[in-house]
Structure 1
Amino acid sequence: MIIDFAYIGEILPALFGATLATLRIAVLAFGLSLLVGLGFAILRLSKRRGLVAGIFAYTEFIRLTPLIVQLFFAYYVLPEIGIQLPAEPTGILVIGLHYATYTSEVFGTGILAVQRGQWESAWSLGLRGWVVWRKIVLPQAIRPMVPALGNYLVQLFKEVPLLSTITVYELLNTANLIAGQSFRYLEVMTLVALIFFVISYGSSLMIANLEERERSR
């Protein structure tokens, strides 16, 4: 088959718009995973065994079941019991909660790496609660975690095409619609692969640069 560059020019605007939608979904889902993951990491330091056991059970269940099954359950099963959201918010919520189980481990490792003396110094100064976390613990814990969190962001971005299975018009679903109308899968899917490669590779280079800067400190 011969690649039709004129046709590529015609479909680029639609694919560009779908790429922005994919990036928006990835950023929102990752933001949710950071918030929930940090919450899980902090709660797992609690002395309440029941709470810690509940979080552990949840994270293990989510990690050991496929993301696509979780998407199908949230979009097709939950409406049967009266819980229904539009497709895109459902996808963001499911992916965000799924990756929160991974980011929580990163946060937990970073928090535990903060020396005990830092906590004790903060307490001796009369600092308590959220002030200790915001002023002392998190600034020291988060910086070394950035490369690992960045790797999860790249991985999450590549999972967004799974949302095409619940009718979200991200990049892959849009590409399938375009290709189905013209039957020119070569140009369409080649462009999709290139877009994912460029974004993922560019992000990987940025993460590698962050890792190198962190090592040099």
Structure 2
Amino acid sequence: LSQNYRGSGSFATFLIIGPVCFFLGILFASFPYDFPLLWSPNPITPLHISQIETHLRFMHAAPPLISRLLHLIIAVGFLGFFTKLYRASESNFLFDGGSLLLYLIAAGVYITNVVTPMNALAEQMGAETAAAAAGDGQAKTVLHAGPLTGEVELTREESLRVLSASHTILAFVLVGVLVLQAGQWYAEKREREDYAAWVARGEPVEVMDDDEEEKEVEKEE
């Protein structure tokens, strides 16, 4: 391995795994609310929907410091990826490049399928609260842009299901990041074991420094 290689034992890996585990913890905290909406065979009761909406309203009304801290932790994850991919080796391109792609997908899902629906749900719940206070039973749906008609009406339960499904997608994508980072650690472990076996057998092992690696690449080109 070259001197510039940043493997699974580097501090940059900690900058990646830390935020990913933090976000998985947040998703796990939401799992009791998401499970009945997606996988429970029992019908959803209005009480449970109200509990979920109360939970979402509480999260949406959190101080701005909370969202800024969350976005800062997301940025820390990107910093870890960019650090590991600076003058990257083949292993970095394979494992860290794939992890970065999954992390970008997770960020996109968070922006499009979590933040936007949560804002829409907050507006919907505020409108329903105002309508209930005025004695009007309307405003029971939320509008989303659709490909054909331009607008798609979703009920309260459907909107919550979309949000819960997005949480599940995020969890699988973030677990994929951890799997790739674990794969990098295992590949390094096997490489060290193979190197130790070659040395034990007395076989010659050619080790090139960074300058020699660059010269070999130039010769191949």
Q: Same fold (TM over 0.5)?
A: no
Structure that is richer in helix per residue? 1
User: TM-score, with normalisation over the residues of structure 2?
Assistant: 0.32
User: TM-score, with normalisation over the residues of structure 1?
Assistant: 0.33
